[in-house]
């Protein structure tokens, strides 16, 4: 049963330096006095503490909760006491600090109550996903995307193929290889749980052919029944065959379209370490509190793999690998191709940390002068995304961000192949990261400006409207006034006429009275008072 | 020391390639062809090389100082030496000293540094220098020596001519020099002679497939170029496209009238065809840089070489073909981006 394998463009044959850390069996790293657990160890929203300083916690106890769908909880990686919730240096390229929960170990490493699932097959996939989510499992290959999301197939995309990524294509790193070699059963069982959650038809495990022990161990662990739906695929060792899209291409011959996820093609890809973590979460009820970490590099006298409690400082691991600090010129988290320099040894290991690399002086690239690009195109020859790094560099150097995007900057996976082969020693990946952040910043600026512009336009419109309404009101009022005026004039005329009429009546009566008085006595001053009252009423009307 | 590392970006592996290494390998690949030229045309070629290299280095240093650029990395990157060697190989073997000096100074200043130095020049500096010399000094630039195994003149004699203009036995340059076989053919055809007649009129130089000596020179440049291709220093597209186009055009016209048009083999192995295809047209800075673009670029050069050689008024056409295509390279690159991973096949 051999699958037809495919090629991806470019890539590198590197010196892999894997044997140095491959030899020794994995041991538990010493438990430090103090563990630092960052709240943000994954892609998405940071977790929110649910413990307070002074609380005692047990190993596996949830200490921070997920705040969003794209988020993951954090669990205490040993038993002890919460001594601080504060900003500490975290492993991030920026070298900045971030909120962390600090636990002082009591040395007992006592588990909280674990709730294993007796038979995951009886569990509904969504209940399974919730458990995986509650166990704080994120992609352990380095990206740290919350795993429960990648185990939740969209309604319109049935998942056909579940791929486990055991390629481990970066030089020096061997933690996945050791994991496959030592715990193949956990990986296969984890894979079956994931398959259950996804209803995937077939499962592929992709492993580079430079890990014969891991391949043999997995093959041996696989039962005949399992091998009807799980296939172990040995792929050629070419960096970056472990890139998600590259691995999918190699195994299936299909390219994930630009700007879309593998799920859109019915494929889901998880790291082998994630599968093992899923196994422990479901079958043993243990949340993600430890992981395998490779501690290696020429500055280490005993390079090896360690099972490390999340939150253990890098210094502890370097000590465990007998790192000669005076020989160390660079301290890298991750592999040499995509990893980043750590600001110091006090940063903790997090869920996504796969390798601590202590490199000696002769590995430094920055002694070499950076020369202008001579457009030799060596970068384009090795680019696994089929980009033209020389053009991307040219335009990002000139800050022509439109042209940079015309050349598909955002398809760059930052694998570092281009920078590795560049004869001018240009830090190309650095330029591309810069260009990406620059474009993001401009988009944000643009959005902000758009918003400001819209707000301004709205304000102008509102002012205009208010002005119009005011004018309308005034106009109406004036009209009303005019009408009233006109109305009053008429009334007055009517009143005057009435008064006139009354006066005439009075006069007539007087004349009558006069005439009568001539005959009889004067009747009194009643009528003039009536006229007066009428006038008063008029005044009130004003 | 744990804190305060000098921060820099991935990858974190030792460097292997360098610009200097690329340039040195190109120069190494030129050795067989250049040696053949020295063999057939004498030590004058060597004198021109030395003069051009010395001028190139001096001008480069001056320009770097003037532009306030670091001297060491740029003067030692090998690029100016390569330019100088290409220019020297393109000019006739016996020229006054100021021809390589003036040409190289022009190439370095106008062709390279006024555009911003290494990596920023749109035109191939060596060919720019050559074109200027050919236009300004057509007499000096077309007076070739007859190919003579071991060379007509010794190093001392060549040096003396270069600096004093005096040849042994008080010979005049007019008397000893002659046009290249390619130039001879062009002139003859312009005079309505048939190839048979031209061949009969110049039995000493019109020998073999492409003239005495030239087949060897081109063959050895071809060998060096194939080695560069194998070492992945140059991409295969430009030389292949250029030579295939040149051969195809030559074949068509040759089949139409073989007394009026030279054979494909003649075109491939005469003049600077192989030097041009593998060492000049492939100059990465000025050539197209995308895979498809390089095919178009090479094809364009092949067409122009054939057209200018056949109907033009110059002894060879590599320089003009390359310079003309240099202008098109940025546009070609823009419109020939490769299909990106995951992009719809169109």
Contact B13 A171 (CB under 8 A): yes
> B17 to chain A: which residues are within 8 Å by CB?
378, 421-423
Contact A419 B9 (CB under 8 A): yes
Cα–Cα distance for residue pair B193/A196, rounded to 1 Å: 85
Cα–Cα distance for residue pair B289/A385, rounded to 1 Å: 17
Report yes or no on A244 lying in a domain. yes
Report yes or no on A91 lying in a domain. no
Q: Is the pLDDT of residue A531 over 60?
A: no
pLDDT band at residue B346 under the 50/70/90 scheme: low
Query: Is B343 strand, coil or helix?
Result: coil
Out of B16, B74, B119, name the one closest to residue A373 (CB): B119
Report yes or no: A136 and A40 within 8 Å, Cβ to Cβ: no
Preceding peptide of B208 cis, ω within 30°: no
Q: Is the pLDDT of residue A439 over 80?
A: yes
Q: Is the pLDDT of residue B295 over 80?
A: yes
- Return the residue matching tokens 């191939």: B124
pLDDT of residue B200: 84
Task: Select the more confidently predicted residue: B285 or A534.
Answer: B285
Percent pLDDT > 70 in chain B is 97
How buried is B207 (Cβ within 10 angstroms: 0-12 exposed, 13-18 middle, 19+ buried)? middle
Cα–Cα distance for residue pair B87/B81, rounded to 1 Å: 10
Domain count, chain A: 1
Cα–Cα distance for residue pair A237/A231, rounded to 1 Å: 18
Report yes or no: B292 and B225 within 8 Å, Cβ to Cβ: no
Q: Residue A386: left if φ>0, alpha if ψ -120 to 50, beta else—which one?
A: left
Q: What angle do CA A130, A114, A176 make, to 5 degrees?
A: 70
Report yes or no on A438 lying in a domain. no
DSSP A297-362: STTBSS-EEEEEETT-BHHHHHHHTTB-GGG-SEEEES-TTT-EE-S-TTSBP-TT--EEEEE-GG
Residues 6+ apart with CB under 8 A from A483: none
Cα–Cα distance for residue pair B58/B215, rounded to 1 Å: 35
pLDDT of residue B51: 97
Mean pLDDT, chain B, whole residue set = 91
| Among candidate residues A393, A371, A389, A367, the one with its CA nearest the CA of residue A380 | A389
DSSP letter at B108 equals: I
Report yes or no on A410 lying in a domain. no
pLDDT band at residue A528 under the 50/70/90 scheme: very low
Question: What domain range includes position A177?
Answer: 19-28+116-361
Report yes or no on A95 lying in a domain. no
Report yes or no: A250 and A100 within 8 Å, Cβ to Cβ: no
Give the model confidence (pLDDT) of B72-122 as tens digits.
999 999 999 999 999 999 999 999 999 999 999 999 999 999 999 999 999
What are the φ and ψ backbone dihedral angles of A525, each rounded to 5 degrees? -100, 50
CA distance B218 to chain A (A): 24
Q: Is the pLDDT of residue A215 over 90?
A: yes
Cα–Cα distance for residue pair A486/B217, rounded to 1 Å: 114
pLDDT band at residue A286 under the 50/70/90 scheme: very high
| Among candidate residues A57, A55, A91, the one with its CA nearest the CA of residue A76 | A57
Cα–Cα distance for residue pair A326/A107, rounded to 1 Å: 31
Q: Is the pLDDT of residue A526 over 70?
A: no
Q: What angle do CA B111, B117, B118 make, to 5 degrees?
A: 105
Contact A343 B17 (CB under 8 A): no
Return the minimum-mean-pLDDT range out of A102-116, A342-356, A483-497: A483-497
pLDDT of residue B3: 36
Query: Is B191 strand, coil or helix?
Result: coil
Q: Is the pLDDT of residue B66 over 50?
A: yes
Q: Where are the domains of chain B?
A: 19-176, 179-336
Which residue in chain A is spatially nearest to B329 when comparing CA positions? Answer: A375
Cα–Cα distance for residue pair B18/A237, rounded to 1 Å: 25
State how far Cα A405 lies from the chain centre.
22
pLDDT band at residue A368 under the 50/70/90 scheme: confident
Query: Is B324 strand, coil or helix?
Result: helix
How many CB pairs (< 8 A) connect A and B?
Answer: 163
Give the model confidence (pLDDT) of A515-524 as tens digits.
766 665 544 4
Preceding peptide of A150 cis, ω within 30°: no
Residue positions counted in chain A: 542
Which residue in chain B is spatially nearest to A409 when comparing CA positions? Answer: B340
pLDDT band at residue A417 under the 50/70/90 scheme: very high
> A421 to chain B: which residues are within 8 Å by CB?
16-17
Q: A270: which strand partners?
A: A164
Contact B338 A368 (CB under 8 A): no
Q: Is the pLDDT of residue B152 over 90?
A: no
Give the model confidence (pLDDT) of B30-52 as tens digits.
999 999 999 999 999 999 999 99
Give the model confidence (pLDDT) of A108-126 as tens digits.
999 999 999 888 888 888 8
Which residue in chain A is spatially nearest to B18 when comparing CA positions? Answer: A423
The dihedral sign for the CA sequence A14, A17, A19, A22: negative
Return the minimum-mean-pLDDT range out of A169-178, A193-202, A517-526, B259-268: A517-526
| Among candidate residues B237, B246, B248, the one with its CA nearest the CA of residue B268 | B246
Cα–Cα distance for residue pair A32/B187, rounded to 1 Å: 88
Out of A14, A258, A423, name the one closest to residue B17 (CB): A423
pLDDT band at residue B173 under the 50/70/90 scheme: confident
pLDDT band at residue B4 under the 50/70/90 scheme: very low
* CATH at residue A170: 3.40.50.11540
CA distance A71 to chain B (A): 28
Out of A363, A391, A407, name the one closest to residue B12 (CB): A363
Cα–Cα distance for residue pair B344/A265, rounded to 1 Å: 14
Contact B119 A408 (CB under 8 A): no
pLDDT of residue B199: 84
DSSP letter at A410 equals: G
Give me the interface pTM, i.e. the ipTM: 0.90
Contact B15 A366 (CB under 8 A): no
pLDDT band at residue A529 under the 50/70/90 scheme: very low
Contact A411 B342 (CB under 8 A): yes
Q: Is the pLDDT of residue A276 over 60?
A: yes
Report yes or no on A87 lying in a domain. no
Q: Is the pLDDT of residue A143 over 60?
A: yes
pLDDT band at residue B330 under the 50/70/90 scheme: very high
Cα–Cα distance for residue pair B26/B224, rounded to 1 Å: 8
Q: A111: which strand partners?
A: A59
Q: What angle do CA A511, A517, A518 make, to 5 degrees?
A: 95
Cα–Cα distance for residue pair A540/B104, rounded to 1 Å: 110
Out of B1, B12, B341, name the one closest to residue A336 (CB): B12
> B344 to chain A: which residues are within 8 Å by CB?
257
Contact B343 A245 (CB under 8 A): no
Give the model confidence (pLDDT) of A386-404 as tens digits.
999 999 999 998 888 889 9
Which residue in chain B is spatially nearest to A16 when comparing CA positions? Answer: B13
Give the model confidence (pLDDT) of B122-144 as tens digits.
999 999 999 999 999 999 999 99
> A345 to chain B: which residues are within 8 Å by CB?
2
Cα–Cα distance for residue pair A477/B70, rounded to 1 Å: 81
The reported pTM is 0.83
pLDDT of residue A518: 62
Contact B13 A14 (CB under 8 A): yes
Cα–Cα distance for residue pair A506/A532, rounded to 1 Å: 13
Q: What is the rounded average pLDDT of the residues A279-303?
A: 94
Residue positions counted in chain B: 346
Cα distances (angstroms) measured from residue A121 to each of A13, A136, A197, A199, A275: 42, 21, 9, 11, 16
């Amino acid at each position: 049963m051999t699958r037809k394998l495919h090629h991806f463009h470019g890539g590198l044959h590197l010196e892999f330096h894997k044997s140095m850390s491959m030899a020794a069996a994995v041991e538990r790293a010493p438990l430090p006095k103090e563990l630092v657990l960052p709240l943000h160890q994954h892609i998405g929203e940071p977790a929110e503490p649910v413990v307070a300083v002074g609380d005692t916690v047990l190993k596996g106890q949830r200490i921070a909760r997920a705040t969003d769908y794209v988020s993951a909880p954090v669990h205490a990686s040993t038993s002890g006491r919460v001594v601080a919730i504060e900003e500490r240096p975290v492993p991030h390229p920026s070298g900045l600090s971030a909120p962390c929960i600090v636990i002082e170990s009591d040395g007992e490493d006592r588990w909280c109550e674990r709730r294993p699932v007796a038979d995951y097959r009886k569990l509904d996939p969504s209940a399974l996903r919730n458990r995986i989510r509650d166990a704080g499992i994120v992609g352990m290959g380095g990206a740290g995307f919350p795993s429960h999301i990648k185990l939740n197939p969209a309604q319109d995309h049935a998942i056909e193929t579940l791929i486990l990524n055991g390629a481990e294509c970066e030089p020096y790193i061997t933690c996945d290889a050791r994991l496959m070699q030592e715990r193949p059963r956990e990986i296969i069982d984890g894979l079956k749980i994931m398959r259950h959650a996804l209803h995937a038809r077939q499962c592929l495990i992709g492993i580079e052919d430079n890990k014969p022990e891991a391949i043999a161990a997995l093959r041996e662990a696989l039962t005949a029944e399992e091998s009807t739906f799980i296939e172990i695929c040995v792929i050629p060792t070419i960096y970056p065959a472990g890139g998600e899209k590259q691995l999918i291409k190699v195994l299936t011959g299909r390219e994930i379209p630009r700007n879309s996820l593998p799920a859109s093609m019915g494929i889901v890809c998880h790291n082998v370490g994630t599968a093992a973590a899923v196994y422990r979460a479901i079958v043993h009820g243990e949340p993600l509190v430890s992981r395998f970490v490779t501690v290696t590099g020429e500055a280490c006298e005993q390079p090896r793999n360690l099972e490390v409690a999340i939150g253990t400082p890098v210094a502890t691991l370097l000590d465990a690998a007998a790192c000669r600090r005076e020989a160390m010129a660079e301290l890298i988290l991750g592999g040499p191709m995509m990893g980043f320099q750590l600001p110091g040894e006090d940063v903790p290991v997090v869920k996504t940390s796969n390798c601590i690399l202590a490199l000696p002086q002769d590995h430094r690239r920055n002694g070499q002068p950076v020369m202008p690009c001579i457009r030799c195109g060596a970068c384009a020859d090795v680019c696994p995304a089929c980009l033209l790094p020389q053009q991307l560099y040219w335009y990002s150097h000139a800050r022509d961000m439109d042209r940079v995007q015309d050349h598909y900057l955002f398809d760059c996976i930052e694998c570092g192949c281009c920078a590795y082969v560049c004869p001018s020693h240009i830090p190309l990946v650095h330029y591309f990261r810069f260009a990406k952040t620059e474009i993001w910043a401009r988009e944000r600026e643009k959005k902000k400006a758009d918003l400001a512009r819209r707000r301004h336009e709205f304000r102008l419109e509102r002012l205009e409207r208010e002005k119009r309404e005011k004018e309308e009101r005034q106009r109406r009022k004036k009209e009303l006034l005019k009408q009233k005026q006109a109305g009053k004039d008429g009334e007055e005329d009517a009143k005057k006429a009435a008064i006139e009429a009354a006066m005439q009546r009075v006069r007539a009566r007087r004349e009558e009275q006069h005439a009568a008085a001539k005959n009889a006595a004067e009747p009194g001053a009643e009528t003039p008072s009536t006229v007066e009252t009428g006038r008063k009423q008029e005044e009130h009307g004003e | 020391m744990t804190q305060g590392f000098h921060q820099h970006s991935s990858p974190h592996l030792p460097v292997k390639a360098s610009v200097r290494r690329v340039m040195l390998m190109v120069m190494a690949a030129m050795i067989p062809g250049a040696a053949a030229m020295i063999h057939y045309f004498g030590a004058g070629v060597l004198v021109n090389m030395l003069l051009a290299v010395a001028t190139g280095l001096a001008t480069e240093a001056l320009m770097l100082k003037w532009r306030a650029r670091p001297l060491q990395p740029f003067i030692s990157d090998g690029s100016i030496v390569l330019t100088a060697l290409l220019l020297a190989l393109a000019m006739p073997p016996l020229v006054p000293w100021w021809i390589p000096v003036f040409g190289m100074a022009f190439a370095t200043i106008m062709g390279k540094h006024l555009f911003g130095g290494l990596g920023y020049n749109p035109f191939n500096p060596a060919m720019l220098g050559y074109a200027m010399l050919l236009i300004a000094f057509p007499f000096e630039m077309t007076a070739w020596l007859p190919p003579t195994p071991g060379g007509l003149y010794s190093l001392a004699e060549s040096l003396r001519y270069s600096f004093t203009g005096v040849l042994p036995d008080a010979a005049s340059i007019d008397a000893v020099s002659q046009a290249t076989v390619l130039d001879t053919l062009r002139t003859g055809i312009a005079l309505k002679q048939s190839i048979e007649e031209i061949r009969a009129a110049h039995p000493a130089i019109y020998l073999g497939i492409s003239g005495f000596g030239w087949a060897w020179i081109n063959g050895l440049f071809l060998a060096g170029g194939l080695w560069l291709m194998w070492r992945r220093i140059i991409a295969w597209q430009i030389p292949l496209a250029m030579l295939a186009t040149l051969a195809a055009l030559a074949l068509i016209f040759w089949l139409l009238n073989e007394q009026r048009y030279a054979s494909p083999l003649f075109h491939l192995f005469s003049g600077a065809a192989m030097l041009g295809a593998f060492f000049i047209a492939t100059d990465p800075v000025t050539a197209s840089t995308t895979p498809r673009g390089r095919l178009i670029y090479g094809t364009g050069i092949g067409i122009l070489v054939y057209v200018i050689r056949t109907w033009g008024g110059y002894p060879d056409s590599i320089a003009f073909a390359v310079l003309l295509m240099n202008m098109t390279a940025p546009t070609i690159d823009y419109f020939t981006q490769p299909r990106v991973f995951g992009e719809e096949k169109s």
